[in-house]
A and B are shown apart, each in its own frame.
Chain A
Amino acid sequence: MKRHDGKQRNIYDEYLERDFTDAPESEGLALPLDRRQFLQLAGGGIAVAFCIPGSLLAQQRGRRGGEGQQLPEDFNAFLRIGEDGRVTGFTGKVELGQGIITSLAQMLADELDVPLESVDMVMGDTDLCPWDRGTFGSMTTRFFGPPFRAAAAEAKAVLVELAAEKLGVTKDRLKTRDGAVYDDAGQKKVTYAELAKGKKILRHLKGAPVEKPGEFTLVGKGLDRRDAVEKVTGRAKYAGDIREPGMLCARILRPPSHDAKFLRVDTSAAREVAGTQVVQDGDLIAVLHESPDLAEQALARLKPEYDQPAASVDDRTIFDHLLKVAPPGETVAEGGNLGAGQSAAHHVVENTYLNSYVAHAPMEPHTALAKVEGNKVTIWASTQTPFALKDEAASLLGLPAQNVRVITPYVGGGFGGKSNNRQALEAVRLAKLTGKPVQVAWTRAEEFFYDTFRPAAVVKVRAGVTEAGLISFWDYGVYFAGERGSQHFYDIPNHRTVAYSGGWTGVPGSHPFATGPWRAPANNTNTFARESHIDALAAKAGIDPVEFRLKNLKDPRMRRVLEAAAKKFGWSPAKAPSGRGYGVACGTDVGTVVAHIAEVAVNKQTGSVRVKRVVCAQEMGLCVNPEGARIQMEGCITMGLGYALAEEIKFAGGKIHDSNFDTYTLPRFSWLPEIETVIVDAKESPAQGGGEPAVICMGGVLANAVFDATGARVLQLPMTPERIKAALARV
């Protein structure tokens, strides 16, 4: 994407320096609005523009991203006190499950002293909200709360200024209550509506303010949670719940595999199903009906023919293939002298770690409804990137972007997968072809077929430890996962980290289907490999794995979380394998550090693993909403059980064998360990990400626990019973 490269950023930044004065739309920047456009967008009243940082923003800006994010200076949100006195928050971010649609309304109500009922949130609507890159990962309230609150405070300051003028009272004698400003004697009063009437005031907050802990009253819990009530009553609308008069449901003919070549199709039998419309437009062949199940029946009557090339790679051979096609590596970090480190080593351990393709599998498959009226397009989509979709749809139809409106209802999970808007573009095409509103709701099979999987990856590590138990060298190469999380944080004098194909989308000829970012992209793979290898070194050195880490760790934050996790767990030192089934792993992601300790039981006959307990300590700088952070940590731990133990896509060439949850297993209730979360206090440092870090250690911590239980080191994720049995056989 053009706008993510460095050059574009600079233009963007420069543009913003000018603070919304008219600027040319240079190089097709569909970026911020000029002042005039903005005021149109905001309507009358009092508006405050500000910015919500995105979790992966830094990543998109540069290759070294992911850590040390900078806050952008642009704005992607604003709030308005309308001429009717209602407060509305606008942001292009979408609600994926963070609960912000309600908690932010509450926060605005709090800060502005208005009843909750007079606050609205408008999210992910490209006609009403300012441009935004997209909602990535599971963003916690830390991104949203402080800037919203600061903007509300700014708006309140404007209201008080206006009231002082209007009432002829000095500002220090004014108070706000219930949507109005009063003087302290209680004699004079003016409502927000009266103050906002006929005004067009715009303030712009630069930078992002930091919340002070005591100020944080974001409750967002219980029955106050608007989205919770909507969601428990079935009233919450997702993209598939939107209905338009005359709407048709489309089912699209899919190839049997990603590498199949379409030859021809006989549509005659499908046309016989009453009420069915068949559309054929180049590669797009669809049947449409008022009901999706009847469209499905018609789809089954299509007789297509394909040319299917022989599969050249499958889920077993993919790793050799990836190593073969890997581009030259790029050094991510290095220091010291590997040769010197090798001579100092008493033990050297060399392993190759693998992980398979993993699906996002949100419970809501990709869904969209598109309506084309003349040269205007409206799309309701389950998407993490409504603004990207707007541009994509506009260029698909050759329309100016302003003719396209994307509306994002509640999204039923994303995890990175809903940055791909294929389903919405299919709906747009079909709506254009049929002249009717068209819903495209992928089946579970389509969701598996077109998912942008977490890539299969290989990590090769060679490292040594001295007689004194100090790591003397570390030589690390990661292939195809991506480099996020690849740098170690231990105290190792001689080291090198190399990334072969730095991105998760691979290079041409690498993956037989699409891959992309998956919750804490790359870091799950890297943390699994690193922490498994650290453990292997500890075992070789005959040192307790917690002690070994502390011995080789100077980073004070990492030491603190590791010590906190060990304390909470009640760790007693023993060298592995101790037979207890205890494992430990540490990691860092989006500026947050985590340490996990797990207890497992392994059935050596069947190779199955029962995770009994997971303790996770997390230091995320200032934690503004501990309960919210815990929910995210629990979600990460539960989700992480899947890629660690069971989840992997089986395929042959471009044919995906998994099409539903019968073969592709997600974590279930019976898998749930006892989960204990510890938030390590660090009020003095800025808030860091909380939606992803706790997922990254799950592979490593469970692999290390399995080793401690059995003495078998499993080098490949997921650790299926077969792989565990195979590893046991090698012991």
Chain B
Amino acid sequence: MRENVQLKLNGKPVSLEVDPGRPLLWVLRYDLGLTGTKYGCGEGHCGACTVLVEGSAVRSCLLRVGAVAGKEVTTIEGLARGSELHPVQKAFAEHDALQCGYCTPGMILNAVSLLRNIPRPTRSQIIETMEGNLCRCGAHKRIIEAIESAAQAMGGGQR
């Protein structure tokens, strides 16, 4: 059942011999050693496993690895440029928008996807987009503030 699946992962080409039906989350975490993408529920309810596929937020626990063949996938490890953090990462750190940090990669990638689609989101657009990402530590208030400040820092543009 193994097939060759090729994709662009965090800017680099990757070629895998893998059962294309396996969830991307586990291939990332175990086959590729990218553990920044987290498991929280496995059923699409929490957003901890969010990655970017072609720049848009997708839940990797529900996505077959075969579905990203030929596509560009970005995980949390691929967001910063060298030591320069993405403005959303920077804003999360600066606003204390995390406590235990387990929900953080998914939150950040979903926010990056939001700002790509809506560079200057209103508060209610932020809330609507982030609604499906769960945080048990209750960092919500600061997460919203961080996204607002990242949007400002990016000045309506893309990075």
On A, residues with C-beta under 8 Å from B are: 96-99, 138, 221-223, 225, 227-238, 240-241, 243, 249, 290-294, 361-365, 410-413, 415, 441, 443-444, 627, 631, 634-639, 660-662, 666-670, 672, 675
Contacts and interface: CB of A to CB of B under 8 A. Distances in A.
B80 interface: yes
22 contacts: A96-B99, A221-B96, A223-B85, A227-B101, A228-B92, A228-B93, A231-B101, A233-B85, A234-B75, A291-B30, A363-B134, A410-B100, A413-B137, A415-B136, A444-B43, A631-B139, A635-B138, A668-B132, A669-B133, A669-B143, A672-B140, A672-B141
Given A631-B142, A638-B141, A413 B136 contact: yes
Given A363-B134, A639-B136, A412 B31 contact: no
A363 B138 contact: no
B103 to A, nearest CB: 5
Given A232-B108, A638-B141, A238 B37 contact: no
Contacts of A631: 96, 99, 139, 142
Contacts of B96: 99, 221, 228, 627, 631
B42 interface: yes
A230 B127 CA distance: 25
Q: Which of B98, B134, B140, B142 lies at the interface centre, i.e. has the most chain A CB atoms within 10 A of its CB?
A: B140
Sorted nearest first, the 4 A-B pairs with minimum C-beta distance are A234-B36, A412-B102, A638-B138, A231-B101
A149 B72 CA distance: 48
Classify the interface of chain B: helix, strand, loop or mixed: loop
B101 A412 contact: yes
B144 interface: yes
A637 B92 contact: no
Contacts of A627: 96
Given A228-B98, A233-B77, A362-B100, A668 B138 contact: no
Interface in B6-44: 22-23, 26, 29-31, 33-43
B48 to A, nearest CB: 6
Given A233-B36, A444-B40, A667-B140, A672 B127 contact: yes
B107 to A, nearest CB: 9
A295 B22 CA distance: 12
Nearest to B128: A670
B45 interface: yes
Interface of B: 22-23, 26, 29-31, 33-43, 45-46, 48, 75-77, 79-80, 85, 89-90, 92-94, 96, 98-105, 108, 126-128, 130-144
Contact of B99 (A291, A635, A661): A635
A383 to B, nearest CB: 13
Q: Which of B30, B45, B138, B141: most chain A Cβ within 10 A? A: B138
Given A234-B75, A291-B22, A293-B22, A229 B99 contact: no
B39 A441 contact: yes
A235 B108 CA distance: 14
Given A362-B100, A661-B45, A634 B85 contact: no
B130 to A, nearest CB: 5
Nearest to B129: A669
B94 A222 contact: yes
Nearest to B79: A233
Contacts of A364: 38, 40, 100, 102
B108 A412 contact: no
Contacts of A441: 39
Contacts of A231: 98, 101, 104
Given A228-B92, A444-B42, 10 more contacts: A99-B96, A99-B99, A228-B96, A234-B75, A365-B39, A443-B42, A635-B137, A638-B138, A668-B140, A670-B131
Contacts of A221: 94, 96
A235 B89 CA distance: 13
Given A362-B136, A444-B42, A229 B22 contact: no
Given A291-B26, A410-B100, A411-B100, A233 B94 contact: no
Given A232-B85, A634-B138, A639-B136, A410 B40 contact: no
A121 to B, nearest CB: 16
A245 to B, nearest CB: 12
A241 B29 CA distance: 8
Contacts of A225: 93
B41 A444 contact: yes
A98 B23 CA distance: 33
Contacts of B108: 232
Contact of B89 (A99, A233, A293, A661): A233
A630 to B, nearest CB: 9
Nearest to B139: A635
B130 A669 contact: yes
A226 to B, nearest CB: 10
A363 B33 CA distance: 21
Contact of B138 (A228, A230, A636): A636
A334 B8 CA distance: 70
B42 A413 contact: no
A483 B142 CA distance: 34
A234 B105 contact: yes
